[in-house]
Amino acid sequence: MPSHAASRDHPIVAVLGAGNGGLATAADLTRRGCRVHLYDLPEFAAPLEPVREAGIRVHGALPEAVYRPALITTEIAEALDGVSVALLIAPAFAHPRLAEVVLPPLRDDQVLLLYPGAVGGAMEVYQALRTSRPGCRAIIGEVANLGYSAKRDGPASVRINGIKRGVPAAAIPAVRTGEMFDAWGAIFPEFVPARDVLETGLNNINIIVHPVLMLANLSRVENEEEWFTYGDGFTPAVARLMEGVDRERLAVLRALGLPEVSIAEWMVRYYAEQGVKGTELYQVLSTAPVFSRSTGPRAIQDRYLSEDVPYGLVPVASIAAGLGVPAPCTEGLVALASAATDIDYAKTGRNAERLGLVGLSPEQIIARVTQGDYQRPARRR
């Protein structure tokens, strides 16, 4: 099996987080010739050891090979040394903890990119930066979705089922998006500029697909069955439920003057080169080669609920309510997930109040993410 290490003559990128997405990204960027600094929090030092010893084995959509990051560390200063772009790749519930560690040493000439940010991730981290370091000129940005369909299948191994193309990315404030793209040059050809972080966050399609699949298959999950998400757990009725929630997401995009792209359309855009096609969601997901080996969760605490509901559906429902957009399916999913887990996600999640959007008109919300002005309090209607 080929083994590859980074060249000293290529860009240095920090990958902050060594889970499914972090390992896939670190390996792929090393494959492309980048010098990767792979970081995780000190409390997660133990899982880094197999990677340090053996490198990252990749298989699936990429030829099987082992890639060795240039640096593996739990010291954030070391991870950010010489880096132009740092990718924060972690579940949304870990964003506050990672931000506490990453923001203090962040330099003015660096980009911190939430990859992805769920809904409102970049807004929340930007607010934290403005509060803790008001003079810092570092760029905070966000990508709509992780660029890979990937799953860790061993201590130092990750299977990449698919690689996305045309993934929206934006900075906050949006007036710095061009500057952000200039900062990373040709490192990320798969990213395309979005209008703002509202467009990136509200086009995170996992926030609908994952919770619906999970709630429709709770008995399989709690019985710890081995099941294929789109083979065993996906039916026309499940697809219709996803489409019902998606129509509400599209209505929020419409209210904010953003392009309306359905889940089915995103899947085809992302994976057309890998054989994904169709117009109806059931057809797209049930026949997509990318998802044929995707297995479902085996614990109710899985991020399909613990991340995608409080950091995805909750902000969508909360923003919709503030805009006067009906969202009964979205609110219903939040209520069902809360009942199933005995957690009040509407209260604990990343709602509009937490994002500083309560009482703002669509125009004020857009101005906020475009100009990044978090000094003025939200105006009540």
Q: What pLDDT is stored for residue 375 in this prediction?
A: 47
- pLDDT tens figures, 243-296: 999 999 999 999 999 999 999 999 999 999 999 999 999 999 999 999 988 899
Domain ranges of the chain: 3-200, 206-350
Euclidean distance between CA atoms 287 and 188, whole angstroms:
28
First to last CA, the chain: 63
Distance of alpha carbon 75 from alpha carbon 148, whole angstroms: 26
Pairing between β-strand 85-88 and β-strand 71-73 as defined by DSSP bridges: unpaired
Dist CA 68 CA 132 (whole Å): 35
| CATH class for the region spanning 206-350 | mainly alpha
| 3-200 CATH | 3.40.50.720
204-242 pLDDT, tens per residue?
Answer: 999 999 999 999 999 999 999 999 999 999 999 999 999
Find, among 151, 163, 150, 162, the residue nearest to 190 by Cα. Answer: 163
304-340 confidence digits (pLDDT tens): 999 999 999 999 999 999 999 999 999 999 999 999 9
| Strand-pair category, 65-68 with 71-73 | unpaired
Q: H-helix or E-strand containing 340?
A: helix 328-341
Q: Which of 286, 34, 296, 291 is nearest to 160 (CA)?
A: 291
Query: Angle at Cα 319 formed by Cα 313 and Cα 320, nearest 5°?
Result: 85
Residues 29 and 3: their CA atoms lie apart, in Å, by 14
Distance CA 190, CA 145 (A): 11
